[in-house]
A and B are shown apart, each in its own frame.
Chain A
Amino acid sequence: MEFVSPEGLRLDGRRPMEMRQLRAEIGIVSKADGSASFEMGNTKVIAAVYGPREVQNRSQQLNDQALVRCEYTMANFSTGDRRRKPKGDRRSTEISLVIRQTMEACIMTHLMPRSQIDIFVQVLQADGGTRSACINAATLALADAGIPMSDIVTSCSAGYLNSTPLLDLNYVEDSAGGPDVTVGILPRSTKVTLLQMDSKLPMDIFENVMQLATEGCKAVANYVHEVLLEKTKQLDKHRGV
């Protein structure tokens, strides 16, 4: 199948290095401490953060740091073919773990000992790159909840189809079976905290693709930063002195 036309356009009309439209909104769940929605093209997720609050199951309480928990769920209507998936299937458990570990790396958990932070991410529409969208949404929700973080985490994916590195794969490109690299970075230090790839790829091409994904992460980071700053300014001004 042809994923990149001779004119250099992808199936959805993007250029290989072009990211889909980003859209984020902060504060969408009224009862949560922090919440955000994040869209990458047609991929749409929401994240809600509850806490830091009293640890619900006291046996899990940690005396020197906060307990971070994460649950990833997909809405029944989120995928093209409607399938009723049992809650907590293997894929969800794996993604929950990935998101938790990624976010835990930048939350300053030692500042909130004996407390619990819950991150819930809900996929409304899955069109490739849900993992990245979830991490980006979780970052925004954590920042909205005022939870101290050493840095934000942003994520983006890139792939390699028709001998072309492609940024931010959508569902059709993602399911083409080619290599798919998901990267999460701490933009300030440009350290990579998350790297997932599950197919063979020559080393030099891999570096290319990874480089592309990292660039994508930086672009997301700029957007996230802008959204957060805008929101902070707005809150501060409305509040008045």
Chain B
Amino acid sequence: MREIESLPLNQTQKLRLEKALDQLDFLSAGANSNACVTVADTILVDHQDGLLKGHGTTDFDGELVATVCGVVERVNKLVYVRSLRARYKPEIGDIIVGRVIEVAPKRWRLEINFTQDAVLMLSSMTLHDGIQRRQTADDELNMRSIFVENDVICAEVRGFQHDGSLHLQARSQKYGKLEKGQLLTVPPYLVKRRKQHFHYLEKYNIDLIVGCNGFIWIGEHVETKDDMVEDQVTESEQQNASEDTHTPVEIRDKICRAANAVRVLCTLGFNITADVIMEIIELSNRIDIHDMLGAEFCVLVAESEVDRRRSSTKKK
């Protein structure tokens, strides 16, 4: 995604953007502005009893030193550096969106923006019939009828295996293949872990899945179906798909607006949540969708972000 520096701003827009960003500076000041460190910076700590060195730190001649750029966080005795731009760091229970890159024996391998491919075992899947049972050789042969290469799917982080590989699970009807929509990738630090990562934006009839790994899915809303009828539905859907049943224009309009909202937020480096996306969609109502990626709208979003953060600090 583009950086702020490469936006074609005119003089006034430049000033307005600078002002907005300055205000953001001001709003966040005091919180932890001095806690930013870069690689090889010393982290000031009292070397009192039992200090726990966390992620992004190392010992150097008795001093605690950062190994990544980021923000120093202290939780009780634990001191760690919360890195900003970096690959995804999985935690158990995270909801992620990924892309299948290989169908292997009894498993699928997925790209999820982690240091390795993630593994989804066939045995960690709820199969079509929805019954918990042992997988048979038949199931193994039919793996390609579930997911094939390049499919986008949603799953949950199950944990690391002994061999260090990351395993996923999809034991729920809410997980599975995502269709009729678009996938966006953003740096994972822009996504905060929350209770809710699946969003059904009823107003626009679209689904929004904000994966913890920075993969964001925006698509037509799909009802989570009853287990028994699902098979028939998917069959008839596939038939439909071969005909010209495209996403209705009104829904597509909203999907594209939501997607561009994510793109703008990513350009500005703002935190990405469903609420903010909805706000931006509203903000964009009067303009053409593609103009959302222009300089003017970008400045508008920055200004509205200032208002939003200001009001949220006041509430506190």
**A interface footprint on B234-271 (CB within 8 Å = 1, 0 otherwise):** 00000000000000000000000000000000001111
On chain A, the residues within 8 Å of B32 by CB distance are: 236
| Contact present for B39 and A228 (CB under 8 Å) | yes
A238 and B276 CA atoms in complex are apart in Å by 14
A239 with B40: CB separation less than 8 A: no
Interface string of B40-52 (1 = CB under 8 A from A): 1100000000000
Beta-carbon contact of B164 and A148 below 8 Å: no
Question: In the complex, what residues of B have CB within 8 A of residue A229's CB?
Answer: 36-38, 69
Rounded to whole angstroms, the CA-CA distance of A53 and B118 in the bound complex is: 11
Contact A235 B39 (CB under 8 A): no
Binds B, one of A96-104, A108-116, A118-126, A212-220: A108-116
Give the tally of cross-chain contacts (CB within 8 A).
Answer: 130
Contacting pair A188 B40 (CB below 8 A): yes
Indicate whether A239 sits within 8 Å of B85 (C-beta atoms), given known contacts A143-B39, A148-B67. no
Q: Could you tell me the distance in whole angstroms from the C-beta of B99 to the nearest C-beta in chain A?
A: 12
Q: Which of A25, A27, A143, A240 contacts B28 (CB 8 A)?
A: A240
Interface flag for A24 (CB, 8 Å): no
Q: How close is A33's CB to chain B, nearest CB, in angstroms? A: 7
Closest to A139 in B: B39
Partner of B69, one of A25, A52, A143: A143
- CA of A66 to CA of B3 in the docked complex: distance in angstroms? 29
**Would you call B40 and A151 a contact (CB within 8 A)?**
yes
Q: With the chains together, A240 CA to B69 CA distance in Å?
A: 17
Cβ of A199 under 8 Å from chain B? no
Q: Which residue of A lies closest to B185 (CB)?
A: A31
Interface residues of A in 145-173 (CB under 8 A from B): 145-152
Residues of B within 8 A of A189 (CB): 60
- Of A30, A54, A151, A238, the residue contacting B1 (CB under 8 A) is A30
- Known A239-B190, A239-B271: A232·B87 in contact at CB below 8 Å: no
Determine if B115 and A52 form an interchain contact, defined as CB atoms under 8 angstroms apart: yes
Interface size on B, residues (CB 8 A): 46
Q: Does A84 contact B (CB under 8 A)?
A: no
What are the interface flags for A166-197 relative to B under an 8 Å C-beta threshold, 1 for contact and 0 otherwise? Answer: 00000000000000000000111100000000
Q: How far is the CA of A33 from the CA of B56 in the complex (A)?
A: 18
Task: Give the complex CA separation of A34 and B58 in angstroms.
Answer: 22
What 0/1 pattern do residues 15 to 29 of B give for CB contact below 8 A with A?
Answer: 000000100110110
Instruction: Establish whether residues A240 and B270, one from each chain, have CB atoms under 8 Å apart when the complex forms.
Output: yes
A241 to B21, CA, bound (A): 15
Contact B269 A234 (CB under 8 A): yes
Which of A34, A150, A187 has the most B CB atoms < 10 Å from its CB? Answer: A150
Query: B215 an interface residue at 8 Å Cβ cutoff?
Result: no
Report whether B271 and A148 are in contact in the complex, using a CB–CB cutoff of 8 Å: no
Chief secondary structure at chain B's binding surface:
loop
Whether the Cβ atoms of B69 and A146 lie closer than 8 Å is yes
How many angstroms between the C-alpha atoms of A106 and B40 in the bound complex? 11
**A225 contacts partner chain B, Cβ-Cβ < 8 Å:** yes
Nearest-CB distance from B166 to chain A (Å)?
10
Pair B69/A152 contact, Cβ less than 8 Å: no
Chain A residues within an 8 Å CB radius of B41: 225
List chain A residues, Cβ under 8 A from B39. 143, 149, 151-152, 228
Known: A27-B3, A53-B115, A231-B69. A147 touches B86 (CB 8 A): yes
Contacting residues, chain A, for B190 (C-beta < 8 A) = 239
Whether A240 pairs with B24 at a CB distance below 8 angstroms is yes
Contact with A along B262-285 (1 / 0, CB 8 A): 000000111100000000000000
Residues of chain A within 8 A (CB-CB) of B189 are 235, 239
- With a cutoff of 8 Å between Cβ atoms, the chain A residues found around residue B5 in the complex are 25
Q: Which residues of A contact B2 (CB under 8 A)?
A: 30
B85 touches A235 (CB 8 A): yes
* Max chain A C-beta neighbours (<10 A), residue from B31, B37, B85, B189: B85
B305 near A240 with CB under 8 A, answer: yes
A residues in contact with B31, CB < 8 Å: 241
Interface string of B51-74 (1 = CB under 8 A from A): 000001010100001011111000
User: What would be 5 A-B contacts, judged by CB atoms less than 8 Å apart?
Assistant: A52-B87, A114-B165, A143-B39, A187-B40, A239-B189
Closest 3 CB pairs of A and B: A146-B86, A238-B269, A52-B115
Q: A115-B115, A145-B85, A239-B84 are in contact. List 14 more A-B contacts (CB 8 A).
A: A27-B85, A30-B2, A34-B85, A52-B115, A54-B116, A114-B115, A114-B165, A150-B60, A232-B84, A234-B269, A236-B32, A236-B36, A238-B24, A241-B28
B interface residues, Cβ below 8 angstroms from A: 1-3, 5, 21, 24-25, 27-28, 31-33, 36-41, 56, 58, 60, 65, 67-71, 83-87, 111, 115-117, 164-165, 189-190, 268-271, 305, 309
